[in-house]
Amino acid sequence: MGSIDLRVRPWHVVALALLAAACASTGGVPRPFPMPGSASAGTARPSSRVEPTAGADALVAAALRLRGVPYRNGGGDPSGFDCSGFTQYVFAQTGVRLPRDVHDQFQAGSKIPADQLEPGDLVFFSTVSPGPSHVGIAIGGDEFIHAPSSKGAVRVEHLGAGYWSRRFVGIRRVH
């Protein structure tokens, strides 16, 4: 049986970078997002969120309806989203205009202290470089919804998970 060559070649790095593209609006490649069930996703814990009812916040309900939509670099519609395309699309569904770029979204609205987080607030993370490079929408309790990297789909995760809590940058309220 022959041996396997495990050396990393320059084209390996380029291929990996293309496969793990970040939000198109940042142009960077994020550190790998945790996949559900992986050790880096944090420990499993029961959901503190209640599924929206007819009277629930329209913004959160619109976001939750998009769970499972695949990540698409530069995507801004239900055929595929990147992080800021997802947030822009969801906010547009409720009549709120939001800039397209993560950095511009971070400048929108009001800065909110972490202890005043509410469903519908934008939550920002540093996944590529210092400052905001990834965005999601708070949905209540410890949870947020977002469009993660190229191997993911729109999904709900915990703000308190180690991956996200270490990369948390801030909150903006624009609704």
- pTM of this prediction? 0.73
- The percentage of residues in the chain with a pLDDT greater than 70, rounded to a whole number, is 67
Catalytic residue among 23, 103, 146, 175: 146
- The percentage of residues in the chain with a pLDDT greater than 90, rounded to a whole number, is 60
171: phi then psi, degrees, rounded to nearest 5: -130, 140
Q: Are strands 143-146 and 80-81 parallel, antiparallel or unpaired?
A: unpaired
Catalytic residue among 23, 83, 158, 175: 83
The CATH architecture of the domain made up of 23-43+52-173 is: Alpha-Beta Complex (3.90)
pLDDT in tens, 104-129: 999 998 999 999 999 999 999 999 88
Whether 83 sits among the annotated catalytic residues: the reply is yes
pLDDT in tens, 142-157: 999 999 987 899 999 9
Whether 146 sits among the annotated catalytic residues: the reply is yes
Mean pLDDT on 50-70: 75
Contact 164, 125 (CB under 8 A): yes
List the one residue out of 9, 2, 25, 29 whose CA is nearest residue 17. Answer: 29
Catalytic residue among 23, 134, 158, 175: 134
